[in-house]
């Protein structure tokens, strides 16, 4: 998911470079992106995001029956837009040889290219099939689209904000999985994640009194806020929340940006060597690969722990230490920790350009 998001972003920035003559500079690394739609998380947002997530979780826990239809429709709309964004590069590739990239006007709705219309149509078709069938593969596809969109349009500006965000979400995940049952007599996280919602078609048929055979045979929907994986016997499903993908994915994008920034900065300084107490082999190890391996090991550990305890596990309990601790250690050994902690992409030179990921 992270690689697809990075590739999509690279394509977007290439298109922007073609349209603008004098746009990108090193100033884009200080937290402001050339694309106004990209949101950079600051320290205050990182601190309050777990609180907001907790409030949303409680609303879903206590008032799920009242808001399930609205929540299902909103989720379907967001999944449609996100999956259209995921399909857009492929549709651009398919439509480029056979049609010009002229935009078609739809009045007040705006102007769209043939690739955008094709990607949106395919996304709507996928969501409609999911609503009609409720198949877990389609739900996983929509969840992947949501992951890619969130990773593509959100930025972590520094290691400080990354640590604040991931540490807060670690506490949030552990509390709602392990300790919520002592307060609410139920595992809040598991109940919200596994509770299916009424199908909007079924609700609509009952409201309009369309008859017993119209819209009544559609299944209840498990919402695409997670990825599900069936067991070998098909008797149960394992789940991974999209937050367990998006939040480490944002960290991976941050370190990948820093790797590219540092590589460009070193080439501009004629290959200046790193600190004298660090071997050349250590300097060649990228932060991205270190964090990616940590994410893989953390996810594997969470899976093993879930099998051993036969109970839901907070994945961030394993993902956060296995990604942040190796990253912090490597940054300290390389002498980059102070720079990465605050304003890592600030540059005095306004003429040099760096790769945005």
Catalytic residue (one of 17, 42, 65, 173): 173
Which of helix, strand or coil describes residue 279?
coil
Per the CB < 8 A criterion, the answer to whether 214 and 92 are in contact is: no
* Residues near 42 by beta carbon (within 8 Å), at least 6 away in sequence: 31, 157, 161
Catalytic residue (one of 42, 140, 217, 244):
244
Based on C-alpha coordinates, what's the Rg of the chain? 23
- Crossing angle for the helix pair 64-95 and 114-133, nearest 10 degrees? 140
Cβ burial 268-306 (10 Å sphere, 16+ → b, else e): eeeeeebeeeeeeeebeebbbebbbebbeebbebbbeeb
Residue 244 is among the residues annotated as catalytic for this protein: yes
CA distance 18 to 100: 16
What is residue 221's DSSP assignment? B
Give the C-alpha separation, 196 to 223, whole Å: 7
Q: Tell which residue, 17, 171, 243, has the closest CA to residue 179.
A: 171
Is 268 among the residues known to form the active site?
no
In the numeric block, which tokens belong to residue 207? 């409201």
State the CB neighbour count (10 A cutoff) for residue 355.
14
- Going by their DSSP bridges, the two strands 111-112 and 39-40 should be labelled as unpaired
Alpha-carbon gap, residue 14 to 27, rounded angstroms: 17
CA 104/CA 257 separation, integer angstroms: 35
Structure tokens at 50: 């777990």
Q: Which residues are marked as active site?
A: 173, 244
């Amino acid at each position: 998911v992270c690689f697809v998001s990075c590739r999509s972003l690279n394509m977007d920035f290439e298109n922007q470079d073609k349209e603008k003559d004098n746009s990108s500079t090193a100033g884009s690394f200080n937290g402001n992106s050339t694309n106004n739609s990209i949101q950079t998380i600051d320290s205050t947002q990182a601190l309050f995001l777990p609180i907001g997530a907790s409030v949303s979780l409680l609303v879903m826990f206590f008032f799920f029956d009242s808001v399930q239809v609205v929540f299902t429709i909103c989720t379907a709309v967001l999944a449609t837009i996100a999956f259209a964004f995921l399909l857009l590069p492929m549709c651009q590739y398919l439509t480029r040889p056979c049609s010009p990239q002229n935009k078609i006007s739809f009045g007040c709705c705006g102007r769209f290219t043939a690739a955008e219309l094709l990607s949106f149509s395919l996304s709507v078709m996928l969501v409609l099939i999911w609503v009609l069938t409720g198949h877990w593969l389609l739900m996983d596809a929509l969840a992947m689209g949501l992951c890619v969109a969130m990773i593509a349009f959100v930025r972590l500006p520094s290691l400080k904000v990354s640590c604040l965000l991931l540490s807060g979400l670690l506490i949030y995940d552990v509390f709602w999985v392990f300790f919520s049952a002592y307060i609410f007599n139920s595992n809040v996280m598991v109940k919200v994640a596994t509770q299916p919602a009424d199908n909007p078609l079924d609700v609509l048929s009952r409201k309009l009194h369309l008859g017993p055979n119209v819209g009544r045979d559609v299944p209840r929907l498990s919402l695409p806020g997670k990825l599900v994986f069936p067991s070998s016997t098909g008797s149960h499903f394992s789940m991974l929340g999209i937050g367990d993908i998006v939040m480490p994915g944002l960290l991976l994008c941050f370190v990948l940006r820093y790797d590219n920034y540092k590589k460009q900065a070193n080439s501009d300084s004629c290959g200046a060597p790193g600190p004298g107490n660090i071997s050349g082999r250590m300097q060649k190890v990228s932060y991205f690969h270190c964090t990616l391996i940590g994410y893989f090991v953390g996810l594997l550990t969470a899976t093993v722990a879930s099998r051993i305890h036969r109970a839901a596990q907070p994945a961030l309990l394993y993902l956060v230490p296995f990604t942040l601790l190796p990253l912090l250690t490597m940054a300290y050994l390389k002498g980059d920790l102070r720079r990465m902690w605050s304003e890592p992409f600030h540059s005095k030179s306004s003429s040099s350009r760096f790769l945005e990921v």
